[in-house]
């Protein structure tokens, strides 16, 4: 992680409320690393104390690999005076947040956007970055850098060349987001939605709402809050947090930034965008679910809040491509271009995102064979079985109501007991006249998908949706080898 020219050993020790035990306080630190296995010569190794591994144990390895020194929370024994600089702090993770906060303070001219929510954080982040990049250089979180380590590391990438920063802020428990927001000091915060996700650690949606709302703790005075108008939890924000500016987004009347689906096909959705009932323009989004369309509306609202011209907002949205494992479209056979495709939405899943992904897929790919491959939704706690059944039943109910089912639609459900409840919900709601719903092992699933794809002439499309631990993308790789 590059720090450019701003930091020396002495300044880092001061910013982190630590002590420089050895080393020259004037020594410049151009880069830090938190993984001793990937240390580069001249980097400062930063100790993180994890639940399973303590970074202090890997200081000798880092120094032996050429590290400039190490920031530690446990004084090395024996002393490492001959090996490198040592900064001693109380806790490495707290020190990282402190340095990130001090680094952010160097760039008050940068417009910072913080993004959180239960679903769509990464897609929204990428859309916002694309919109803002039309008006100036942007730095944004990389990959899944949205937690107590990744977010501070993202903040440390900020430099003089940037006009905007977009940082994703995630959580697994209450209290996780507040320190990230306080370090990032956003002028704009975006909350996508509140949904039953990670219930094993959160417990209920009220706690999820309270946790996501922590992003407002670091909001600069007079800052803007962008939120989903149709979300019953987020709609409470203006009353609970007066004094902020608010911009809402959604499809229902009353949203400041309102969307309307003009058309939808297997390749994507043509989205019309209005601001306070005035037509701004339209953008083709290469996804079919409703959730990503709301993400696009949130990005448009963010562009307006950041005073990006409307033409550039639309240009930014038009350039968006889905992030890997989050709805990206994969051609299963280059020799049969566009005839057989997979939609890889297997990065994560909860009831709301699974319903949205499946209904969007069925609505977009109305022609040809449509195979929906579903796996378990993890971390739902004591409601796991109930929510899997309810999700299956809800998908079936919506699909029937919208007329999205025919003889070329097949559901393949794979996984353990919770996945079986998902299949039961689908089956019971569809009834005897519904589509095939097959509960299968991983090995059986591959054969079933192949058989159904080749049962009819092309086109054929397959959606894969489950939690990350299910690794459904491996099925896509196996399927591609069959073509």
Whether residues 68 and 114 share a domain: the answer is no
SS (H, E, C) 169-229: CCCCCCCCHHHHHHHHCCCEEEECCCCCCCHHHHCCHHHHHHHHHHHHHHCCCCCEEEEEC
Are 254 and 112 contained in the same domain?
Answer: yes
Residue ending a domain, among 318, 345, 360, is 318
Whether residue 138 is found in the same domain as residue 75: no
Residues 53 and 137 in one domain: no
266 in the same domain as 154: yes
Whether residue 373 is contained in a domain is answered as yes
pTM > 0.85: yes or no: yes
pLDDT for 274: 98
**Which residues fall within 8 angstroms of residue 296, CB to CB, at 6 or more apart?**
127, 259, 271, 273, 283, 285, 317, 320
Give how far Cα 286 sits from Cα of 201, 263, 292, 320, 335, Å.
Answer: 33, 12, 9, 8, 22
pLDDT < 50 stretches in the chain: 81-82
- CATH number of 86's domain: 3.40.1390.10
58 Cβ neighbours under 8 A, 6+ residues apart = 36, 45, 47
**Which among 389, 432, 384, 383 is positioned nearest to 413, based on CA atoms?**
389
Same domain, 312 and 399: no
pLDDT at 5: 65
The strand pair at 278-285 and 268-275 is best described as antiparallel
* pLDDT at residue 336 in the model: 73
What's the pLDDT score for residue 230?
96
């639309």: which residue's tokens? 314
Q: Residue 334's pLDDT is what?
A: 76
Q: Identify whether residues 33 and 120 lie together within a single domain.
A: no
Structural domain for 251, as ranges: 107-318
Same domain, 280 and 392: no
Give the domain-ending residue among 318, 341, 364.
Answer: 318
Answer yes or no: is 39 within a domain.
Answer: yes
Q: Are both 297 and 164 inside the same structural domain? A: yes
336 and 412 part of one domain? yes
Q: What is the CATH classification number for the domain harbouring 377? A: 3.90.190.20
CATH code where residue 294 lies: 3.40.1190.10
Q: What tens digit of pLDDT does each residue of 66-103 get? A: 999 999 999 887 655 447 999 999 999 999 999 999 99
Domain assignment of residue 381, yes or no: yes
Mention every residue, 6+ apart, whose C-beta is less than 8 A from residue 69: 9, 22, 23, 44, 45, 63, 84, 85, 86, 87
Structure confidence at residue 398 (pLDDT): 97
Give yes or no for a contact between 359 and 402, defined as CB atoms under 8 angstroms apart: yes
Domain annotation covers residue 98? no
Residue 293 shares a structural domain with residue 427: no
Q: Domain check: are 284 and 351 in the same one?
A: no
Asked, for residue 385, whether it belongs to a domain, the answer is yes
Adjacent-strand bridge partners of 112: 165
CA distance 71 to 51: 18
The per-residue pLDDT for 423 is: 98
Residue of 236, 97, 260 whose CA lies nearest to 169: 97
Total residues belonging to the chain: 483
pLDDT of residue 4: 56
Work out the end-to-end distance of the chain between its first and last CA atoms, rounded to an integer number of angstroms. Answer: 41
Task: Please indicate, yes or no, if residue 268 is contained in any of the structural domains.
Answer: yes
pLDDT at 366: 85
């Amino acid at each position: 992680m590059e720090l450019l020219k701003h930091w020396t050993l002495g300044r880092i020790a001061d910013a982190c409320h630590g002590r420089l035990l050895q080393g020259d306080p004037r020594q410049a630190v151009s880069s830090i690393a938190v993984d001793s296995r990937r240390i580069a010569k001249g980097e400062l190794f930063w100790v993180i104390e994890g639940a399973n591994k303590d970074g202090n144990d890997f200081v000798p390895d880092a120094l032996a690999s050429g590290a400039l020194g190490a920031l530690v929370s446990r004084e090395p024994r024996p002393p490492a005076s001959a090996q490198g600089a040592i900064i001693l702090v109380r806790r490495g993770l707290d020190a990282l947040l402190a340095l990130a906060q001090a680094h952010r303070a160097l760039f008050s001219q940068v417009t910072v956007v913080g993004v959180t929510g239960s679903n769509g954080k990464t897609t929204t982040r990428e859309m916002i970055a694309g919109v803002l990049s039309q008006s100036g250089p942007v730095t944004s979180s990389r990959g899944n850098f949205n937690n107590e380590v990744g977010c501070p590391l993202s903040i440390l990438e900020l430099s003089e060349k940037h006009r905007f920063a977009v940082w994703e802020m995630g959580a697994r428990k209450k209290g996780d987001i507040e320190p990230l927001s306080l370090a990032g000091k956003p002028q704009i915060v975006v909350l996508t939605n509140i949904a039953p996700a990670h219930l094993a650690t959160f417990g209920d949606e009220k706690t999820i709402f309270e946790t996501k709302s922590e992003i407002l703790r670091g909001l600069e005075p007079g800052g803007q809050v962008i939120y989903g108008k149709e979300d019953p939890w987020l709609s409470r924000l203006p009353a609970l947090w007066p004094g902020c500016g608010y911009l809402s987004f959604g499809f229902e009347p009353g949203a400041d930034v309102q969307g309307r689906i003009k058309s939808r096909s297997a390749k994507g959705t043509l989205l019309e965008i209005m601001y306070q009932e005035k037509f701004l323009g339209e953008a083709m989004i290469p996804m079919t679910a409703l959730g990503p369309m709301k993400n696009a509306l949130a990005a448009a609202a963010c562009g307006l809040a950041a005073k990006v011209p409307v033409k550039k907002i639309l240009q930014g949205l038009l350039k968006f491509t889905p992030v890997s494992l989050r709805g990206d479209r994969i051609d299963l056979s280059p020799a049969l271009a566009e005839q057989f495709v997979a939609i890889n939405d297997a990065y994560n899943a909860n009831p709301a995102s699974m319903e949205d992904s499946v209904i969007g897929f069925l609505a977009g790919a109305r022609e040809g064979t449509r195979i929906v491959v579903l796996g378990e939704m993890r971390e739902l706690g004591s409601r796991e079985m109930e929510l899997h059944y309810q999700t299956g039943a809800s998908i079936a109910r919506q699909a029937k109501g919208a007329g999205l089912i025919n003889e070329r639609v097949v559901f393949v459900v794979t996984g353990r007991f919770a996945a079986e409840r998902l299949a039961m919900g689908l089956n019971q709601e569809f009834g005897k006249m519904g589509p095939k719903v097959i509960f299968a092992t991983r090995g059986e699933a591959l054969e079933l998908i192949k058989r159904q794809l080749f049962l009819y002439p092309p086109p054929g499309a397959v959606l894969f949706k489950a939690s990350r631990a299910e690794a459904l993308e491996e099925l896509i790789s196996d399927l591609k080898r069959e073509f």
